[in-house]
Amino acid sequence: MANINLEETLKLITDLVSIPSPSGNTNEVITFVEKFLAELRLKTSRNRKGGLIATIEGKDSSKHRMLTAHVDTLGAMVKEVKSNGRLKIDLIGGFKYNSIEGEYCQIETSSGKKITGTILMHQTSVHVYKDAGKAERNQDNMEVRIDEKVHTAEEVRALGIEVGDFVSFDPRVEVTPGGYIKSRHLDDKASVAILLQLIKQIQTENIHLPYTTHFLISNNEEIGYGGNSNITPETVEYLAVDMGAMGDGQSTDEYTVSICVKDASGPYHYQLRKNLVRLALENKIDYKLDIYPFYGSDASAAIRSGHDIVHGLIGPGIDSSHAFERTHQSSIENTARLLNKYVQSELVL
C-alpha cells in the first residue's frame, strides 16, 4: 500500500469536526461518512442505534477482523429555559464546565433550526460581578447567551428552543504551518478520518485483505456503548482506533501512534499488543506504549457486553483531551501507517 495522503486526511478531519455531532444527534455526520463510502463503491448499513458498518471481503471469510472509530463527540442539551432568556445546559459525555467557558455554540431546535450562542458564566462581567473569577464553573453558574433579542423564557420559546434541544460546541479548527491540528473533537474524528482514508486506499489500490474486515463508525462511544454491538460471530480481533491520552507521566505524545496496554477497563489483549509493536518496529513506525488512567474504549465496551474477542486500542496522541485538543500530523501519519500494516497482517488466533 502506498503512503497515506496526509493532505486529504487533514482536509477530512477539518470537514468532520465541522459537522456538529454530540452523542445522541449524529445523523448528519453519519450521512457524510455514508456518502464518502458510497463514492468508493462500498456498501454500508446502519445499525439501529445509528452507527455505520462497512465490510470489505477478504481472502479468508471464515475469520473476521473489525476496526472502529467514533464520530460522536462531547456536547450538551438544553436543561432549562431560564427566566432571564438564557439557557441552562446539561453535559453530554465526560468533561468539566471550565473547558467550555467562553465557547461559541449552536443550538439545534427539534424542527432543525440552528441558533448560535456563547457559553458563559452568569457572572462574567468584571464591571458588575465582584466574584467573576472565583465563582464555581458549574451547571448553576454557566449558561448559554443566545444571539437573539430575548429577555424572557417566553421569548426564547418563541424561537422554537425547548428543553432537550442539542447544543454543540464550535470546533475552531485550525491547521498550523508547523503541522499541528488544533480543534475540538479530534477525539475521535481524527481517527475516523484515518480509517476512511485507509478504506479509500484499500478500494482505489485494489488491495486484497487477508480476512474479511468490518469498519464500524460508532456513534455512542462518549456515553459508553458505541461499538459494543454488530460484531459478527466470526470476528477474532477487534481494534478500537481512538485518541491516546497525554499528561503528566504519560508516554503518549503528539508525534507518534499510541498503543494502549491498559486503561481503566484493564489490560488489552497481550498478544495483539505484541503484534502491533512488532508491526511498528518492522516498518519503522514511531510508537509509544501507554496506560490511560481514566479511559474506556469501544473495544472494552465490546468485551463488557459479552463478545469473545481479542481486543486492542491504538490512536493518535491528543493533548488536552475533551477540552482544547491538539495533535500533530506526524501522529496522524504514524497511526495511519500502523493501521495499513495491521489490516494486512495475520490474526492472533
**Whole-angstrom Cα distance, residue 333 to residue 122?**
42
Q: What stretches of the chain adopt beta strand conformation (E)?
A: 44-46, 52-56, 60-70, 75-81, 87-92, 104-108, 114-121, 142-146, 166-169, 174-175, 180-182, 211-218, 235-241, 244-245, 257-263, 266-267, 287-291, 310-318, 326-328
Looking at the Cβ atoms of 187 and 319, the one nearer to Zn ion is: 187
Q: Which of residues 101-120 bind Zn ion (CB under 5 A)?
A: none
298 binds Zn ion per the rule CB under 5 A? no
Place of cell 463488557: 304
Residues 6+ apart with CB under 8 A from 157: 81
Residues 6+ apart with CB under 8 A from 171: 17, 18, 183, 184, 185
Q: Which stretch binds Zn ion (CB under 5 A): 3-11, 177-185, 235-243, 247-255?
A: 235-243
Q: Which stretch binds Zn ion (CB under 5 A): 27-35, 184-192, 257-265, 321-329?
A: 184-192
Residues 6+ apart with CB under 8 A from 87: 78, 79, 80, 81, 107, 117, 143, 144, 146, 156, 161, 167
Minimum CB separation of residue 342 from Zn ion in Å reads: 19
DSSP assignment string, 75-128: EEEEEEE-TTS-EEEEEESS--GGGGTT-EEEEE-TTS-EEEEEEEETT--TTT
Residue 210 and residue 346 in contact, taking contact as beta carbons nearer than 8 Å: yes
Q: Which stretch binds Zn ion (CB under 5 A): 137-145, 194-202, 242-250, 281-289?
A: 242-250
Looking at the Cβ atoms of 187 and 253, the one nearer to Zn ion is: 187
Q: Which stretch binds Zn ion (CB under 5 A): 22-30, 48-56, 107-115, 183-191?
A: 183-191
Minimum CB separation of residue 215 from Zn ion in Å reads: 16
Q: Which stretch binds Zn ion (CB under 5 A): 192-200, 237-245, 247-255, 341-349?
A: 237-245
Cα 287–chain centre separation: 20
Looking at the Cβ atoms of 253 and 298, the one nearer to Zn ion is: 298
CB-based burial, 269-301: b 16+ in 10 Å, e otherwise: beebbebbbebbeeeebebbebbbeebbbbbbb
Selected from 108, 143, 170, 187, the binder of Zn ion by CB under 5 A is 187
State the greatest distance between any 2 C-alpha atoms of the chain, in Å, as a whole number.
69
Looking at the Cβ atoms of 165 and 325, the one nearer to Zn ion is: 325
Looking at the Cβ atoms of 187 and 237, the one nearer to Zn ion is: 187
Selected from 108, 165, 170, 188, the binder of Zn ion by CB under 5 A is 188
Looking at the Cβ atoms of 94 and 102, the one nearer to Zn ion is: 94
Selected from 108, 170, 237, 242, the binder of Zn ion by CB under 5 A is 242
Minimum CB separation of residue 243 from Zn ion in Å reads: 5
Minimum CB separation of residue 75 from Zn ion in Å reads: 13
**Whole-angstrom Cα distance, residue 25 to residue 114?**
13
Minimum CB separation of residue 109 from Zn ion in Å reads: 27
Minimum CB separation of residue 242 from Zn ion in Å reads: 4
Looking at the Cβ atoms of 165 and 222, the one nearer to Zn ion is: 222
- State the residue number with the nearest CB to Zn ion: 188
Minimum CB separation of residue 281 from Zn ion in Å reads: 26
72 binds Zn ion per the rule CB under 5 A? no
Q: Which of 108, 221, 222, 237 is catalytic?
A: 221
Beta bridge partners of 68: 216, 240
- The count of chain residues that interact with Zn ion, using the rule CB under 5 A, is 3
Catalytic site includes residue 34: no
Just list the catalytic residues: 221
Binding site for Zn ion (CB under 5 A): 187-188, 242
